[in-house]
Structure 1
Amino acid sequence: MTDDAVPASELYTDEFAADPYPAFAQLRADKPVCPVSSPRFDSYLITRFDDAKAALTDPRLSKDLYGPDQHYLRIFGPNSEGLNKNMLNSDPPEHTRLRRIVSQAFAPRRIEALRPRVAQIVDDLLDKIVPQGQSELMHDFAIPLPMRVISELLGIPEADHDRVLDWTQVIRTSGSSGRSPQEDRAAVQEAQLRLHHYFADLVQAKRAHPADDMISALIEACDHDGKLSEPELVTTSFLLLFAGHQTTADFIGNATVALLTNPDQLELLRASPELLPSAIEELLRFDGPLPVASPRIATEDVEYQGVSIPRGAIVGVVINSANHDPAHFADPDRLDLCRERGPHIGFGHGVHYCLGVSLARMEAQIGIGALLRRLPELRLGVPVAELRRLPAASPFRGLLELPVRFTA
């Protein structure tokens, strides 16, 4: 790591957690490829749009964390391999094989057929909220909506939804629980193990009694087609669960705050609900739930913006910074729902482009549209500065709580 590396403790502050965009702007201007040092691992952050887009397709930046160097140990820690060895952390041709198996379940026409069920889940959740005049929207709506949808797709029995959600939330909220770092790591490792065992048991149950769900289809690919190994079956199930609800939940929370703190845009969307599909894209560009793409490893010395990134270094492509690059977006720190739809990279770019993009867009459109329609005079329940967010160093940008009020 170079002498001009920025200590993670100086970058990932409480101010950064509340609003990282001033720090991103400074990095784009002064250190567009920024070395960051931390006790767990060092990394290089790529922050400008053109560089970020190039890095996301650079074959020298590998997603395979499970080679001889076992980079996953530095990034995820012990007990991680059982859940994280999947298509997200692999390169072609392995990634191509695994993605092809899963992609049929996320075909746009198949996802569109889910629209009535998603709308029903949204209405069921809001039916409980509407009479109260207030809500903690993350707990009551933003998290359970995508969690219920992906659980039903996978075939997780309804009786297990709450405990599976509890385990995922232990992982999601790591660093914000009030536990000591040692206790927090132990809790995360325990949740990882429980999820691994749960999916291993669920696979066996589905193997004995298959159903019309995604895990049963994956078992078919494993047992009859030989396209999937047993460990891949378990880790793919976990990836689909976590990726299928985490970022969508955080996005709904972020988007709600963005609208409530930009009342002119909120009123515009209320008056013109036909803008909702394009508004979702602008809201994702404005404050996406995945600030940094999942880690890459330099397989050889590479250079970006005159900065040499050595072989073996961890590289983070800062999506949320790239999506605020003024070289590509006019007045990028302003929410503009009428912005001409630009090439944001909120869903990634290249072969790792988000597989569940159609589902995420549909859930966001239905969910946010229903919030605005069914919760009159929706407003924050606390000043925006008092909102509790995930820790600054979290891989996700989201809220721990989102208290709101409205007219019952």
Structure 2
Amino acid sequence: MTVPMQFTQEFWNNPHPVYAQLRQEAPVHPVTLPNGIEVWLITRYADCKVALADPRLSKRQGAGDNARQLARPVSTPLTRHLLANDPPDHTRLRRLVSKVFTARRVEELRPRVGELSAALIESLRAKGGTAEQSGKGGAAELVEDYAVHLPIQVICELLGVPIEDQADFRRWTGVMVSASAGGPGVPEAAAAFVGYLLGLIERKRSAPAGDLLSALIATRDEGDRFSEDELTSMAFLLLLAGHETTVNLIGNGMYTLLTQPEAYQRLRKDPSLVPAAVEELLRLESPVETATSRTATEAVTYGDVTIPAGAMVAISLLAADRDPERFPNPDAFDLDRADNQHLAFGYGIHYCLGAPLARLEAQIAFTDLLTAFPDMRLAVSPAEVAWRTGVLIHGPSALPVTL
């Protein structure tokens, strides 16, 4: 590359030009992340799709490398989940969790997600955000007042986590997600999270209920069951992935729609387009910027670049889904895009188990927000919207709006 990657706020606010340059000049490129970890970053769609399903890239070894940031006593309980294991362990874990985290269980949540969304919208309306209030500094804030709370409330109810505990685990996951940007306090947050989960699991074991965590504790498959570390790690993954990704899917989506009022009004007038809009928003502004890291177990070649054995590999979903060799006019939000096989949920054996839940929540969120607030607009210029730092999660840190 003629210009090295620089992880500044300018990059986080708009990484797409840098990724475009990478795809063109150096589609497989060594990068030092802000936390000091060195990775080979892959950015072209075709290479990313192959790499996501490549058995020569180990998730377990990648998890081990990432665990260097965690305190030793908690690295094991947080690295025994689906995204940190290879077959046959991954196969076994996915089979166990799939017995209870089913499409039917997700679909049964639809009425409750609608109720939660309606309550949040009424709260949003009550807080203000009218044109007059906005002129006096009274703009509503979509991320904090809606996008954060909907998926957190849903995952808490699904897992059986007391909603009053959400502030704690949200703080811990925020610190851990920021680790890729060199954020401080990761070992302390991880230790606190593990301690909380161990206590929660023990309470569920003593007094099981109809929630997903109780079901995971009780699940069996031909005599097989989750170990204590596996239970803790799966609960961690479901809490983290169950809200962080959807928070940013909603935030990214509303930012995109608010900067394209014609699409906003078209979608509002024809809600049947919402499912297609969700897929296009996932492609255009993936809430997961790069897939969780892998380690090459042998030398691997993508394109004309060979990554040496033992190197860590990062796969950029955000870059892949704007590859002009795969998607015509990739930087445009196109509600009529027919061929939209994006990689926002990954690919291969690690394809996101929670994709149906994320889609359900996003479809309800966009339908409800656009219906309730047909004239919503940004309360600041698009350039003033600040985005979160870190190469794992991609989304606005705040989205002030006039309702």
**TM-score, scaled to structure 1:** 0.90
Unaligned runs of 5+ in 1: none
Q: 1:106 is paired with a residue of what secondary structure?
A: coil
Question: What corresponds to 2:184 in structure 1?
Answer: 185
Unaligned runs of 5+ in 2: 130-138
Cα deviation 1:106-125 (Å, max 9, x = unaligned):
32222111100000000111
Is 1:383 equivalent to 2:378 in the alignment? no
| Cα distance in 1 for residues equivalent to 2:375 and 2:162 | 37
Deviates more, 1:199-208 or 1:225-234: 225-234
Question: What corresponds to 1:398 in structure 2?
Answer: 395
Which amino acid counterpart does residue 382 of structure 1 have in structure 2? V
| Cα distance in 2 for residues equivalent to 1:293 and 1:32 | 16
* 1:378/1:66 CA distance change after superposition, 3 Å: closer
| Cα distance in 1 for residues equivalent to 2:2 and 2:319 | 18
| Cα distance in 2 for residues equivalent to 1:149 and 1:91 | 29
| Cα distance in 1 for residues equivalent to 2:173 and 2:32 | 28
* 1:263/1:363 CA distance change after superposition, 3 Å: same
Which amino acid counterpart does residue 380 of structure 1 have in structure 2? L
Query: Alignment RMSD, CA only?
Result: 2.2
Q: Is the 8 A contact 1:56 1:348 kept in 2?
A: yes
Deviation at 1:226, TM superposition (A): 3.9
Question: What corresponds to 2:149 in structure 1?
Answer: 144
Q: 1:358 is paired with a residue of what secondary structure?
A: helix
Cα deviation 1:256-310 (Å, max 9, x = unaligned):
0011111221121112111000110001100011111110110001111111100
Q: Is the 8 A contact 2:59 2:86 kept in 1?
A: yes
| Cα distance in 1 for residues equivalent to 2:313 and 2:218 | 36
Counterpart selection for 2:163 from 152, 158, 161:
158
* 1:195/1:75 CA distance change after superposition, 3 Å: closer
% same residue: 43
Deviation at 1:394, TM superposition (A): 3.4
Deviation at 1:6, TM superposition (A): 7.5
Q: 1:347 is paired with a residue of what secondary structure?
A: coil
Q: Is the 8 A contact 1:6 1:35 kept in 2?
A: no
| Cα distance in 2 for residues equivalent to 1:368 and 1:75 | 37
Question: What corresponds to 1:333 in structure 2?
Answer: 331
Question: What corresponds to 2:53 in structure 1?
Answer: 57
Deviation at 1:229, TM superposition (A): 0.6
Deviation at 1:80, TM superposition (A): 3.7
Deviation at 1:137, TM superposition (A): 1.1
Which amino acid counterpart does residue 388 of structure 2 have in structure 1? L
Which amino acid counterpart does residue 135 of structure 1 have in structure 2? A
Q: Is the 8 A contact 1:106 1:359 kept in 2?
A: no
Q: Is the 8 A contact 1:40 1:75 kept in 2?
A: no
Question: What corresponds to 1:95 in structure 2?
Answer: 90
Give the number of aligned pairs.
Answer: 391
Counterpart selection for 1:229 from 203, 227, 230:
227
Deviation at 1:163, TM superposition (A): 2.6
| Cα distance in 2 for residues equivalent to 1:15 and 1:75 | 26
Deviation at 1:77, TM superposition (A): 7.0
| Cα distance in 1 for residues equivalent to 2:346 and 2:48 | 10
Question: What corresponds to 2:36 in structure 1?
Answer: 40
| Cα distance in 2 for residues equivalent to 1:225 and 1:165 | 35
Q: 1:274 is paired with a residue of what secondary structure?
A: helix
**TM-score, scaled to structure 2:** 0.91
